[in-house]
Amino acid sequence: MTFSIAARDGDAWGVAVASKFLAVGSIVPRVGLHGPAVATQAMARVAYLDELEAAVAAGTPVTEALAAAVAGDEGREHRQVGLVAPDGAASYTGSECLHWAGGRSGQDGDTAYAVQGNILVGPRVVEAMESAWHEGAGLPLDHRLLGVLLAGDTEGGDARGRQSAALLVRCPGAGYDGCGVVADLRVDDHDDAPRELARLHSLSTLFFGTPEDVQPLEGSLRGEVTWLLTALGHAPVDDDVAGALEAWAGEANLENRMTPDGVDARVLETLRETAGTSRTAG
Protein backbone atom coordinates (compact mmCIF):
# COMPACT_ATOMS: atom_id res chain seq x y z
CA MET A 1 0.00 0.00 0.00
CA THR A 2 3.07 2.21 -0.02
CA PHE A 3 6.13 3.11 -2.05
CA SER A 4 9.19 4.80 -0.60
CA ILE A 5 12.87 5.58 -0.91
CA ALA A 6 15.37 5.86 1.92
CA ALA A 7 18.67 7.38 0.88
CA ARG A 8 21.94 9.06 1.70
CA ASP A 9 23.96 11.54 -0.34
CA GLY A 10 27.12 12.66 1.44
CA ASP A 11 26.10 14.15 4.79
CA ALA A 12 22.41 14.33 3.86
CA TRP A 13 19.95 11.58 4.78
CA GLY A 14 16.30 11.28 3.86
CA VAL A 15 13.09 9.37 3.16
CA ALA A 16 10.28 10.11 0.72
CA VAL A 17 7.07 8.09 0.81
CA ALA A 18 3.55 8.01 -0.66
CA SER A 19 0.57 5.77 -0.01
CA LYS A 20 -3.18 5.21 -0.15
CA PHE A 21 -3.12 5.47 3.63
CA LEU A 22 -3.87 8.29 6.05
CA ALA A 23 -0.84 10.28 7.28
CA VAL A 24 1.81 7.88 6.02
CA GLY A 25 4.49 10.33 7.16
CA SER A 26 3.54 9.65 10.79
CA ILE A 27 4.52 5.97 10.51
CA VAL A 28 6.98 5.11 7.75
CA PRO A 29 10.07 7.39 7.95
CA ARG A 30 12.90 7.76 10.44
CA VAL A 31 15.91 9.92 9.60
CA GLY A 32 18.74 10.63 12.01
CA LEU A 33 20.83 13.77 11.70
CA HIS A 34 23.84 11.58 10.98
CA GLY A 35 21.78 8.64 9.73
CA PRO A 36 20.39 6.13 9.37
CA ALA A 37 17.42 6.55 7.03
CA VAL A 38 14.68 3.98 7.58
CA ALA A 39 11.32 3.25 5.95
CA THR A 40 8.99 0.70 7.56
CA GLN A 41 5.82 -0.20 5.66
CA ALA A 42 3.35 -2.88 4.44
CA MET A 43 2.02 -4.14 7.80
CA ALA A 44 4.44 -1.60 9.24
CA ARG A 45 6.23 -2.48 12.43
CA VAL A 46 7.05 0.88 13.97
CA ALA A 47 9.46 -0.73 16.44
CA TYR A 48 11.83 -1.34 13.52
CA LEU A 49 12.59 2.39 13.53
CA ASP A 50 14.10 2.36 17.03
CA GLU A 51 15.71 -1.05 16.60
CA LEU A 52 17.45 -0.22 13.34
CA GLU A 53 18.56 3.22 14.49
CA ALA A 54 20.11 1.68 17.62
CA ALA A 55 21.79 -1.11 15.67
CA VAL A 56 23.37 1.29 13.20
CA ALA A 57 24.50 3.58 16.03
CA ALA A 58 26.21 0.57 17.62
CA GLY A 59 28.15 -0.02 14.41
CA THR A 60 26.26 -3.06 13.14
CA PRO A 61 26.67 -3.43 9.35
CA VAL A 62 23.56 -2.55 7.37
CA THR A 63 22.73 -6.05 6.14
CA GLU A 64 23.26 -7.58 9.58
CA ALA A 65 21.16 -4.90 11.26
CA LEU A 66 18.24 -5.44 8.92
CA ALA A 67 18.50 -9.23 9.05
CA ALA A 68 18.53 -9.23 12.86
CA ALA A 69 15.52 -6.94 13.13
CA VAL A 70 13.52 -9.01 10.67
CA ALA A 71 14.53 -12.34 12.24
CA GLY A 72 13.13 -11.28 15.59
CA ASP A 73 9.74 -10.35 14.14
CA GLU A 74 7.04 -13.03 13.93
CA GLY A 75 5.13 -10.91 11.40
CA ARG A 76 8.14 -10.43 9.13
CA GLU A 77 6.56 -12.06 6.08
CA HIS A 78 3.98 -9.27 6.01
CA ARG A 79 6.55 -6.47 6.40
CA GLN A 80 8.66 -4.31 4.14
CA VAL A 81 11.66 -2.27 5.28
CA GLY A 82 14.32 -0.10 3.67
CA LEU A 83 17.51 0.81 5.55
CA VAL A 84 20.38 3.10 4.57
CA ALA A 85 23.40 3.28 6.87
CA PRO A 86 26.95 4.63 6.58
CA ASP A 87 28.16 1.36 5.03
CA GLY A 88 25.41 0.92 2.45
CA ALA A 89 21.74 0.06 1.94
CA ALA A 90 19.38 -2.89 2.09
CA SER A 91 15.70 -3.53 1.37
CA TYR A 92 13.52 -6.36 2.69
CA THR A 93 10.14 -7.57 1.37
CA GLY A 94 8.28 -10.33 3.18
CA SER A 95 6.90 -13.23 1.14
CA GLU A 96 3.31 -12.45 2.14
CA CYS A 97 3.30 -8.75 1.23
CA LEU A 98 0.40 -8.05 -1.11
CA HIS A 99 1.24 -8.14 -4.83
CA TRP A 100 2.98 -6.39 -6.44
CA ALA A 101 5.70 -5.99 -3.84
CA GLY A 102 9.47 -5.69 -4.08
CA GLY A 103 12.47 -3.46 -3.67
CA ARG A 104 15.93 -2.54 -4.87
CA SER A 105 18.99 -1.06 -3.19
CA GLY A 106 22.43 0.14 -4.18
CA GLN A 107 25.49 2.13 -3.19
CA ASP A 108 27.94 4.33 -5.07
CA GLY A 109 30.64 5.98 -2.98
CA ASP A 110 28.99 8.12 -0.32
CA THR A 111 25.53 7.75 -1.86
CA ALA A 112 23.14 4.86 -1.23
CA TYR A 113 19.46 4.11 -1.66
CA ALA A 114 16.78 1.56 -0.80
CA VAL A 115 13.58 1.68 -2.87
CA GLN A 116 10.57 -0.48 -1.97
CA GLY A 117 6.84 -0.73 -2.51
CA ASN A 118 3.84 -2.98 -2.01
CA ILE A 119 0.36 -3.19 -3.56
CA LEU A 120 1.86 -1.43 -6.56
CA VAL A 121 0.56 -1.52 -10.13
CA GLY A 122 3.68 -3.51 -11.00
CA PRO A 123 7.49 -3.68 -10.82
CA ARG A 124 7.75 -0.72 -13.20
CA VAL A 125 7.07 1.60 -10.23
CA VAL A 126 10.22 0.53 -8.37
CA GLU A 127 12.19 0.42 -11.62
CA ALA A 128 11.18 4.00 -12.46
CA MET A 129 12.10 5.15 -8.97
CA GLU A 130 15.54 3.55 -9.17
CA SER A 131 16.12 5.15 -12.59
CA ALA A 132 15.04 8.55 -11.28
CA TRP A 133 17.48 8.20 -8.38
CA HIS A 134 20.40 7.72 -10.76
CA GLU A 135 19.20 10.46 -13.12
CA GLY A 136 18.98 12.91 -10.21
CA ALA A 137 22.67 12.67 -9.32
CA GLY A 138 24.02 16.10 -8.39
CA LEU A 139 20.71 17.49 -7.15
CA PRO A 140 20.24 18.37 -3.47
CA LEU A 141 18.89 15.29 -1.70
CA ASP A 142 15.44 16.74 -1.00
CA HIS A 143 14.94 17.59 -4.69
CA ARG A 144 16.34 14.20 -5.71
CA LEU A 145 14.03 12.23 -3.41
CA LEU A 146 10.99 14.19 -4.50
CA GLY A 147 11.85 13.42 -8.12
CA VAL A 148 12.08 9.72 -7.27
CA LEU A 149 8.69 9.77 -5.55
CA LEU A 150 7.03 11.56 -8.45
CA ALA A 151 8.57 9.08 -10.89
CA GLY A 152 6.99 6.22 -8.99
CA ASP A 153 3.66 8.00 -8.88
CA THR A 154 3.77 8.72 -12.62
CA GLU A 155 4.19 4.99 -13.26
CA GLY A 156 1.03 4.25 -11.30
CA GLY A 157 2.32 4.02 -7.73
CA ASP A 158 -0.06 2.49 -5.20
CA ALA A 159 -2.59 0.36 -7.08
CA ARG A 160 -5.38 1.62 -4.80
CA GLY A 161 -4.78 5.32 -5.48
CA ARG A 162 -3.38 8.32 -3.64
CA GLN A 163 -3.94 9.73 -0.16
CA SER A 164 -0.81 10.85 1.66
CA ALA A 165 2.88 11.57 1.14
CA ALA A 166 5.87 12.81 3.12
CA LEU A 167 9.44 14.04 2.71
CA LEU A 168 11.97 14.08 5.55
CA VAL A 169 15.58 15.12 4.92
CA ARG A 170 18.29 16.01 7.45
CA CYS A 171 21.82 17.31 7.05
CA PRO A 172 24.08 18.76 9.78
CA GLY A 173 24.16 22.56 9.72
CA ALA A 174 21.52 22.88 7.00
CA GLY A 175 17.96 24.19 7.13
CA TYR A 176 16.32 26.92 9.16
CA ASP A 177 18.75 28.35 11.71
CA GLY A 178 21.18 25.54 10.88
CA CYS A 179 19.06 23.05 12.84
CA GLY A 180 19.76 20.26 10.35
CA VAL A 181 16.24 19.88 8.96
CA VAL A 182 16.36 20.39 5.19
CA ALA A 183 12.74 19.31 4.68
CA ASP A 184 10.06 17.96 7.01
CA LEU A 185 6.86 18.00 4.98
CA ARG A 186 3.69 15.92 5.16
CA VAL A 187 0.47 15.71 3.21
CA ASP A 188 -1.84 13.63 5.38
CA ASP A 189 -5.02 13.42 3.26
CA HIS A 190 -5.18 14.66 -0.33
CA ASP A 191 -6.43 13.12 -3.58
CA ASP A 192 -3.14 14.00 -5.32
CA ALA A 193 -0.78 13.82 -2.37
CA PRO A 194 2.55 13.45 -4.22
CA ARG A 195 2.01 16.62 -6.23
CA GLU A 196 0.67 18.48 -3.24
CA LEU A 197 3.90 17.48 -1.49
CA ALA A 198 5.83 18.91 -4.45
CA ARG A 199 3.91 22.19 -4.09
CA LEU A 200 4.74 22.38 -0.39
CA HIS A 201 8.38 21.58 -1.13
CA SER A 202 8.53 24.46 -3.61
CA LEU A 203 7.21 26.80 -0.91
CA SER A 204 9.65 25.39 1.64
CA THR A 205 12.64 25.99 -0.62
CA LEU A 206 11.33 29.50 -1.32
CA PHE A 207 10.94 30.48 2.33
CA PHE A 208 13.89 28.61 3.84
CA GLY A 209 16.36 28.45 0.95
CA THR A 210 19.46 30.58 0.58
CA PRO A 211 19.95 33.36 -2.01
CA GLU A 212 20.53 32.22 -5.59
CA ASP A 213 21.10 34.00 -8.91
CA VAL A 214 21.53 37.33 -7.13
CA GLN A 215 21.44 40.47 -9.27
CA PRO A 216 22.67 43.87 -8.03
CA LEU A 217 20.01 46.52 -7.42
CA GLU A 218 21.22 48.76 -10.21
CA GLY A 219 19.95 50.39 -13.38
CA SER A 220 16.66 49.20 -14.84
CA LEU A 221 16.31 46.45 -12.21
CA ARG A 222 16.50 49.03 -9.43
CA GLY A 223 13.80 51.03 -11.19
CA GLU A 224 11.56 47.98 -11.58
CA VAL A 225 11.95 46.92 -7.95
CA THR A 226 11.17 50.47 -6.82
CA TRP A 227 8.01 50.48 -8.94
CA LEU A 228 6.90 47.05 -7.69
CA LEU A 229 7.48 47.93 -4.05
CA THR A 230 5.57 51.19 -4.48
CA ALA A 231 2.65 49.28 -5.99
CA LEU A 232 2.60 47.11 -2.86
CA GLY A 233 2.67 50.05 -0.45
CA HIS A 234 6.38 49.82 0.32
CA ALA A 235 7.70 52.84 -1.55
CA PRO A 236 11.40 53.42 -0.74
CA VAL A 237 12.11 56.34 1.57
CA ASP A 238 15.08 58.54 0.61
CA ASP A 239 15.77 56.18 -2.30
CA ASP A 240 16.55 53.32 0.10
CA VAL A 241 15.40 50.54 -2.23
CA ALA A 242 17.26 47.82 -0.34
CA GLY A 243 15.63 48.87 2.93
CA ALA A 244 12.16 48.87 1.40
CA LEU A 245 12.81 45.47 -0.17
CA GLU A 246 13.91 44.07 3.18
CA ALA A 247 10.79 45.42 4.88
CA TRP A 248 8.52 43.82 2.28
CA ALA A 249 10.47 40.54 2.37
CA GLY A 250 10.03 40.37 6.15
CA GLU A 251 6.26 40.55 5.73
CA ALA A 252 6.39 37.90 2.99
CA ASN A 253 8.52 35.49 5.09
CA LEU A 254 11.41 35.79 2.64
CA GLU A 255 13.98 37.17 5.05
CA ASN A 256 16.21 34.10 4.65
CA ARG A 257 16.75 35.04 1.00
CA MET A 258 17.81 38.62 1.64
CA THR A 259 21.39 39.56 0.77
CA PRO A 260 23.33 42.84 0.74
CA ASP A 261 24.57 41.94 -2.75
CA GLY A 262 21.24 42.64 -4.44
CA VAL A 263 18.02 40.73 -5.04
CA ASP A 264 17.59 36.95 -5.12
CA ALA A 265 15.95 35.50 -8.23
CA ARG A 266 13.05 33.89 -6.35
CA VAL A 267 12.47 37.02 -4.28
CA LEU A 268 12.25 39.00 -7.50
CA GLU A 269 9.89 36.44 -9.02
CA THR A 270 7.64 36.53 -5.95
CA LEU A 271 7.71 40.32 -5.86
CA ARG A 272 6.60 40.46 -9.49
CA GLU A 273 3.85 37.90 -8.94
CA THR A 274 2.58 39.59 -5.79
CA ALA A 275 2.49 43.04 -7.38
CA GLY A 276 0.70 41.57 -10.41
CA THR A 277 -1.91 39.92 -8.20
CA SER A 278 -2.34 43.16 -6.28
CA ARG A 279 -2.96 45.12 -9.50
CA THR A 280 -5.45 42.50 -10.71
CA ALA A 281 -7.31 42.56 -7.40
CA GLY A 282 -7.36 46.35 -7.45
DSSP string, 175-204: SGGG-SEEEEEEE-S-TTHHHHHHHHHHHH
The pLDDT value recorded for residue 114 is 98
Closest CA to 31 of 175, 147, 211: 175
Is the pLDDT at 282 greater than 60, yes or no? no
Q: pTM of the full predicted structure? A: 0.91
Q: Output the CA–CA distances (angstroms, integers) from residue 3 to 67, 181, 213, 219, 265, in the order listed.
A: 21, 22, 35, 51, 34
* DSSP code, position 140: -
The mean predicted confidence, pLDDT, of the chain is: 95
Is the pLDDT at 168 greater than 50, yes or no? yes
pLDDT tens digits, 175-221: 888 899 999 999 999 999 999 999 999 999 999 888 999 999 999 99
Q: Characterize 256-275 residue by residue with b for buried, 16 or more Cβ atoms within 10 angstroms of its Cβ, and e for exposed.
A: bbbeeebbbebbbebbeeeb
Is the pLDDT at 53 greater than 80, yes or no? yes
The pLDDT value recorded for residue 227 is 96
Is the pLDDT at 280 greater than 60, yes or no? no
The pLDDT value recorded for residue 265 is 95
CA atoms of 275 and 233, how far apart (whole Å):
10
What are the DSSP E strand ranges found in the chain? 2-9, 12-19, 29-31, 37-42, 79-85, 88-93, 102-108, 111-118, 164-170, 181-187
The pLDDT value recorded for residue 210 is 86
Can you identify the CATH homologous superfamily of domain 2-190?
A: Aminohydrolase, N-terminal nucleophile (Ntn) domain (3.60.20.10)
Give the mean model confidence (pLDDT) for residues 137-147.
Answer: 97
Give the mean model confidence (pLDDT) for residues 118-144.
Answer: 97
- Domain ranges, ordered by start, for the chain: 2-190, 219-281
Q: Which of the four pLDDT bands, split at 50, 70 and 90, describes residue 281? A: very low
The pLDDT value recorded for residue 279 is 53
DSSP-based three-state secondary structure for 111 = strand
Is the pLDDT at 89 greater than 80, yes or no? yes
DSSP-based three-state secondary structure for 65 = helix
Is the pLDDT at 56 greater than 80, yes or no? yes
Contact 56, 35 (CB under 8 A): yes
The pLDDT value recorded for residue 278 is 54
Is the pLDDT at 94 greater than 70, yes or no? yes
Give the mean model confidence (pLDDT) for residues 266-276.
Answer: 94
In this structure, the number of other CB atoms found within 10 A of the CB of residue 242 comes to: 17
